[in-house]
């Protein structure tokens, strides 16, 4: 049995309590590793280490270019070990090796891009309205950052946070999901190999409720960058508010994918299927509400279900598998629960609708790709995040109705539009309430393009130049170049 210790102050260590917890392989439902079960003591040790590294250690003495070089080295090491890291991700979260290999091949770009940005963060000289002063600004690291990640793409979500935080000069305590801690602990070995000084990156593992509050309420933490559910996001915001921390919230979604009759229907079908069934629907940007214009509705549903039925489910390590298991037992139960809710609400089941067991799926936590038609936007299946392979199809008449339905949801992470009308593409992209809008494509992300939610999907940006500002604070410096310092008691 593989055992994973935490990483604090440049050392792999047991939890202070000496406890361990199990990590499961979703394809078999069996334990494959044990992970150190941290608590408040470990959280405190990690924050203290990060604070020392920020204020006293060699990290604070490095130039921005030197930080960038370390990050480039880290990117190279991730590229070198991409296959090994991808296999660990598969073990921990059951995602397909085909997807994880692609993701791990892409992750180095985050370290290259933000490493390159590290020494291009320039302040400004302000042309003041007063004579005799010189005023300029400096961008300084915000301080110790706590980075909390979800289980669905641990190393990618971590790159979204760690790369800009390190480029900004911050130090970091990472808290991976208790369901998928192993890949982060393997990754941190590369951080050490790259030559980052002790304490710059620390990893504390354990259950969110046991470790989380000790991190998000710690007085020496300046910023919490969180990816996860909106319920946890609210709790973290409350905890962080007590010590006035900055926060970035990357939360859930219920994204509309809107298909107009004038669209290239072949492309739209591919986009709708990959929008919901890629990663078995376990992505924050899943296109879980498919809005179809009336005139194409029936043929679209027929062709979409025909394509979805060809998907091969089974061993996530096989390159032939197209849909893998659900990553965790509680999530598996939750997805099946939502399928029952949709049936009770009166949605019509067009395909799937239950667990998939036996055959290629073995004992794993598989759910059939499921499509409901006749969904009303007021139903829970149209309003709540399922985070599984369950699609709700909703009909609309025209652009106004499509917009009204698309925006009538508390989330606002992503939205897709399929149309061949350029004017409509611009109108929709302007009026859709979502942090990302894709036109005639879906689920595209890049380290260069800002990503983040509107409404209950969160706030703050990851990726692109905007992301580094989340980890910087702006200082204004005034230098007296000759102005007389007046006697305050002499009236002028």
| Smaller CB separation from ligand NAD, 315 or 385 | 385
Report the nearest approach of ligand NAD to the CB of residue 363 (Å).
Answer: 22
Q: Which of 104, 159, 165, 251 binds ligand NAD (CB under 6 A)?
A: 251
Contact 349, 370 (CB under 8 A): yes
Is position 209 an interface residue for ligand NAD (rule: CB under 6 A)?
yes
Size of the site for ligand NAD (CB under 6 A): 30
Report the nearest approach of ligand NAD to the CB of residue 461 (Å).
Answer: 11
Is position 203 an interface residue for ligand NAD (rule: CB under 6 A)?
no
Name the active-site residue from 192, 210, 250, 399.
250
Q: CA angle, corner 302, sides to 429 and 384, nearest 5?
A: 50
Report the nearest approach of ligand NAD to the CB of residue 249 (Å).
Answer: 8
284 assigned to active site: yes
250 assigned to active site: yes
| Smaller CB separation from ligand NAD, 209 or 242 | 209
Is position 308 an interface residue for ligand NAD (rule: CB under 6 A)?
no
Q: Which of 108, 199, 252, 414 binds ligand NAD (CB under 6 A)?
A: 252
Is position 245 an interface residue for ligand NAD (rule: CB under 6 A)?
no
Q: Which of 85, 100, 268, 284 binds ligand NAD (CB under 6 A)?
A: 284
Please report, as residue ranges, which positions from 378 to 437 form the binding site for ligand NAD (by CB under 6 A): 385, 387, 413
Which span (121-129, 229-237, 255-263, 302-310) binds ligand NAD, by CB under 6 A?
229-237
Distance CA 155, CA 37 (A): 20
Q: How many residues are given for the chain?
A: 492
Minimal CA–CA distance to 255: which of 283, 227, 226? Answer: 283
| Smaller CB separation from ligand NAD, 176 or 198 | 176
Is position 288 an interface residue for ligand NAD (rule: CB under 6 A)?
no
Please report, as residue ranges, which positions from 125 to 154 form the binding site for ligand NAD (by CB under 6 A): 148-152
Which span (53-61, 227-235, 260-268, 339-347) binds ligand NAD, by CB under 6 A?
227-235
| Smaller CB separation from ligand NAD, 227 or 322 | 227
Which span (21-29, 59-67, 226-234, 368-376) binds ligand NAD, by CB under 6 A?
226-234
Name the active-site residue from 48, 89, 170, 284.
284
Is position 208 an interface residue for ligand NAD (rule: CB under 6 A)?
yes
| Smaller CB separation from ligand NAD, 55 or 446 | 446
Return the structure tokens found at 72.
Answer: 């480039």
Report the nearest approach of ligand NAD to the CB of residue 104 (Å).
Answer: 17
Q: Which residues are known to be catalytic?
A: 250, 284
Binding site for ligand NAD (CB under 6 A): 148-152, 157, 175, 177-178, 208-209, 212-213, 216, 227-229, 232, 235-236, 250-253, 284, 385, 387, 413, 453, 458
């Amino acid at each position: 049995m593989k055992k994973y210790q935490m990483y604090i102050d440049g050392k792999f260590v047991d939890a202070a309590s000496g406890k361990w917890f199990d990590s499961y392989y979703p394809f078999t439902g069996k334990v494959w590793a044990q992970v150190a079960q941290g608590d408040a003591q470990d959280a405190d040790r990690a924050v203290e280490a990060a604070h020392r590294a920020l204020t006293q250690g060699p990290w604070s003495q490095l130039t921005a270019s030197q930080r960038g070089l370390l990050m480039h080295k880290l990117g190279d090491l991730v590229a070198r070990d991409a296959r090994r890291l991808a296999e660990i991700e598969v073990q921990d979260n059951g995602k397909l090796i085909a997807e994880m290999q692609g993701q791990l091949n892409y992750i180095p770009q985050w370290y290259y891009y933000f490493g390159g940005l590290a020494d291009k963060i320039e302040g400004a000289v302000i042309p003041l309205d007063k004579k005799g002063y010189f005023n300029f600004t400096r961008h300084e690291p915000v301080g110790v950052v706590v980075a909390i990640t979800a289980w669905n793409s641990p190393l990618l979500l971590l790159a979204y946070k760690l790369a800009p935080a390190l480029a900004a000069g911050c130090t970091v305590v990472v808290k991976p999901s208790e369901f998928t801690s192993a890949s982060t602990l393997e990754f941190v070995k590369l951080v050490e190999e790259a030559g980052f000084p002790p304490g710059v990156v620390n990893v504390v593992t354990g259950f969110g409720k046991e470790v989380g509050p000790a991190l998000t309420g710690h007085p020496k933490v300046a910023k919490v960058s969180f990816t996860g559910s909106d319920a946890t996001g609210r709790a973290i915001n409350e905890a962080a508010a007590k010590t006035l921390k900055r926060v970035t919230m990357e939360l859930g979604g219920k994204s509309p994918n809107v298909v107009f009759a004038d669209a290239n229907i072949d492309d739209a079908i591919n986009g709708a299927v990959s929008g919901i069934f890629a990663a078995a629907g376990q992505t924050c940007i899943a296109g879980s509400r498919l809005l179809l214009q009336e005139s194409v509705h029936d043929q679209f549903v027929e062709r979409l279900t025909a394509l979805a039925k060809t998907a091969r489910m089974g061993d996530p390590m096989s390159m032939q598998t197209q849909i893998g298991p659900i990553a965790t037992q509680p999530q598996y139960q939750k997805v099946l629960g939502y399928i029952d809710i949709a049936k009770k609400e009166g949605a019509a089941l067009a395909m799937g609708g239950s667990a998939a067991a036996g055959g290629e799926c073995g004992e794993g936590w598989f759910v059939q790709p499921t499509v409901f038609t006749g969904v009303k936007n007021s139903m829970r299946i149209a309003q709540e995040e399922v985070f599984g392979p369950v699609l709700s199809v909703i009909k609309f008449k025209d652009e106004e109705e499509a917009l009204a339905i698309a925006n009538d949801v508390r989330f606002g992470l992503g939205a897709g539009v399929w149309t061949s009308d350029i004017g409509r593409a611009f109108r929709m992209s302007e009026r859709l309430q979502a942090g990302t809008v894709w036109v005639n494509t879906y689920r595209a992300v890049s380290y260069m393009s800002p990503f983040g939610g509107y409404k209950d999907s969160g706030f703050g940006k990851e990726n692109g130049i905007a992301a580094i500002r989340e980890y910087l604070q702006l200082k204004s410096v005034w230098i007296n170049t000759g102005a007389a310092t007046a006697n305050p008691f002499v009236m002028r």
